[in-house]
Chains A and B, each alone.
Chain A
Amino acid sequence: MAKTTEVIEVRDVRKEYRNGAIKTDVLQGISLKVFEGDFLAIMGPSGSGKSTLMHIMGFLDRPTSGSCNFRGKHIDSLSDDELARIRNKKMGFVFQMFNLLARTSVLDNVRLPLFYSGLKGKEELELAKRAIELVGLTDRSHHLPNQLSGGEKQRVAIARAIVNNPEVIFADEPTGNLDSKSGQQIMDVLQKLNNQGHTIVLVTHEKYTAEMAKKMILIKDGKIVYNQKVDHRRFAKDGFEK
């Protein structure tokens, strides 16, 4: 059954940070699975380790112990360059702080992942244009980030995340810095992408936003305290209110 194919498996992941003598146990044994077509929300109070977990799931960081698999590939058996390649081909990232290149046009920002994918220039341009169209920013293609609103910036970030047609899109509090109208647009785009078959991992501390996902987990003190399907799923196109 294709619907239940496993994409990501996290098993007993621990992550600690050492700062001299001070040791912080951020994740203390996290296990979870993400399936094809999932829309998973990771919830938890600020500082609970949501981003840390997402980074490990997205192969941006390595766990202190435990294992993380993507499509059966074990993070420990892959080199940094191999992780980079998987991120480049199979994953897309949206960060809370937008993280756009300053003084660089929308088009070039969106194209950035393709620089590292070995595509031909023409193909690259087509993909970038399509991604920009999908987030509705075609008329802003040649604007610079400082000429855009917060919501527009985040849509550029989403376009960049989907430009390589990734299997999984990771979004770390994508609505955190936005007004509700912009947040609604972002969530609408993410839900659409999920409908088109992209698997989505969303980090948020708002219950309201988490209820737009299909499943949610709640992290507290480095452990999962809650993991279940969203009962009454919300849809961004129906309105967004906090």
Chain B
Amino acid sequence: MKLTDTFKTAIIGLKTNKTRSALTMLGIVIGIAAVITMNSIGAGAQNLILSRVASMGSNNIFIEPGPWSKRMEKGSMMQSMVEEANITSLKREDAIAIANHPLIEMAAPFTMGVGRIVYLDVDKKSSYSGITPDGQKINENNVILGRDINEDEVKSMAKVVVLGFTLKEDLFGEEDPIGKIIRIQKTNFRVIGVMEEQGVQMFQNMDTYAFIPITTTQKLLLGTDHVKWIIAKAWDEDRIDEIVSDLRLLLRERHSIYNPSGDLAKDDFKIMTQKETADILTSVTGVLTMFLSSVAGIALVVGGIGIMNIMLVSVNERTREIGLRKAVGARKKDILNQFLMEAVTLTFLGGVIGILLGLTFSYLGGVILGNMLDLKWSAPLSLDSILLSAGVAIVIGLVFGIYPARKAAELSPIEALRYE
């Protein structure tokens, strides 16, 4: 039997059993579309995070309290963030010492807190950040109204506040806030400025924050003398590695840590560059992508099992047909080829439809997520995921197509014809 005839027979077979064909194809379509969509969304999230990291500036160095743990490398960021909250090892004076390093342009400590903010009858629970003028510069934060916090206010623990853009809207609406007094956790603060709108960055919306001199937050709001993290900005990006080792030695000396072997787990701080941050985030999103992909992979396998199932059932349904075909001269190979061709055709059609649907869902998913998070979402379509899912679908089609086809082809014509 010629290939074109086999193909024709397969097509006729599929056409005469439309429902069965459609159900079979559905499994493959869903599987492939799921793989492509999940993969695209995972990759989109990764791109997004990496682009945020890139926008942090590649000569920034991050110093956080607490030792480097293995978990960090595995990407368990949440865990380490919770643990860090109680670690008091990093002080404002560390930032000042770091800033004195000749290769460091500036270094800024930060604190974070949450408290009630009240203006007249508006009462809001809101986050605040303790900052310095250098911190604002490093983060490239600018005021659009009034002025920013200055060094004197940091030194004197002044009770002044700069409002994030959204926070200002929430508290004051259209009213001019400059010079007004608001209460943050029982202390009165004078509003001196409003920040420009920034949108979501690193999944945080800084527009809802209140910015307060760091010393004021420590003394009046948090009652601590440690800081949440320090960001240092190097003069020269190319010498980052050298600077990082210098800073490690400096902080060990300041914190009286004896650590000649340089074991990072013995330190009470950790230093990350933009590159390392990116690596960690990449591994986090990598895990996410893998998770999404395995969910999608399961969908694909289930689809494949569906195909096998339907093929097996169809062999039973069609045993008399097979008997008849063999009686009029079909060889084992012809029957095998027909069933195989049916499976391949279904898989191929399902594959094409699945890819098209996957591309559509990826695009729509990107648009919807982008709108929801108010971000520019770039969901790259990876050729890998398309090839992988289509490849898996084809293999499933072949393997699951061959097995029932073999079963069908083994029957003797009379056995098959007598089949009830």
Residues of A near any B CB (own CB < 8 A): 55, 60-61, 80-81, 84-85, 87-89, 93, 95, 99, 101-104, 108, 112-113, 115-118, 160, 164
Contact = CB atoms under 8 A, between A and B. Distances in A.
Chain A CB within 10 A, most for which of B16, B328, B330: B328
Contacts of A55: 414
B38 to A, nearest CB: 38
Chain B interface size band reads 20 to 34
A61 B417 CA distance: 12
A89 B329 contact: yes
Interface in B66-91: none
Contacts of B331: 80-81, 84-85, 116
Interface string B297-336: 0000000000000000000000011011111111111100
B412 A115 contact: no
Contacts of B414: 55, 60-61
A115 B321 CA distance: 14
A164 B328 CA distance: 10
A88 B330 CA distance: 8
B412 A116 contact: no
B332 A80 contact: yes
**Dominant secondary structure at the B interface:** helix
Nearest to B8: A115
A112 B333 contact: no
A88 B333 contact: no
A87 B16 contact: no
Interface string B1-45: 110010001001000110000000000000000000000000000
Nearest to A99: B324
Chain A CB within 10 A, most for which of B1, B17, B331: B331
A70 B325 CA distance: 21
A118 B327 contact: no
B329 A84 contact: yes
Closest 4 CB pairs of A and B: A88-B329, A113-B328, A103-B16, A116-B329
Given A115-B9, A116-B334, A160 B328 contact: yes
A7 to B, nearest CB: 18
Given A103-B17, A160-B328, 6 more contacts: A81-B331, A84-B329, A88-B328, A93-B328, A95-B417, A108-B12
A117 to B, nearest CB: 7
Contacts of A164: 329
B120 to A, nearest CB: 78
Contacts of B332: 80-81
Interface in B322-362: 323-334
Contacts of A113: 328-329
Contacts, number: 63
Interface string B402-416: 000000000011100
A31 to B, nearest CB: 22
A89 B333 CA distance: 17
A104 B13 CA distance: 9
Interface of B: 1-2, 5, 9, 12, 16-17, 320-321, 323-334, 412-414, 417
A78 to B, nearest CB: 12
A4 B232 CA distance: 110
Chain A CB within 10 A, most for which of B2, B329, B331: B329
22 contacts: A55-B414, A80-B331, A81-B331, A84-B329, A85-B331, A87-B329, A89-B329, A93-B328, A99-B324, A101-B321, A101-B324, A103-B16, A103-B17, A104-B12, A112-B328, A115-B5, A115-B330, A116-B325, A116-B330, A118-B1, A160-B328, A164-B329
A99 B417 contact: yes
B236 to A, nearest CB: 77
A226 to B, nearest CB: 26
Contacts of A93: 327-328
Chain A CB within 10 A, most for which of B327, B330, B332, B414: B327
B324 A112 contact: yes
Contact of A87 (B12, B17, B328, B334): B328
B12 A116 contact: no
Contacts of A160: 328
Contacts of A102: 16
Contacts of B1: 115-116, 118
Contacts of A84: 326, 329-331
B412 to A, nearest CB: 7
B333 to A, nearest CB: 7
A116 B322 CA distance: 13
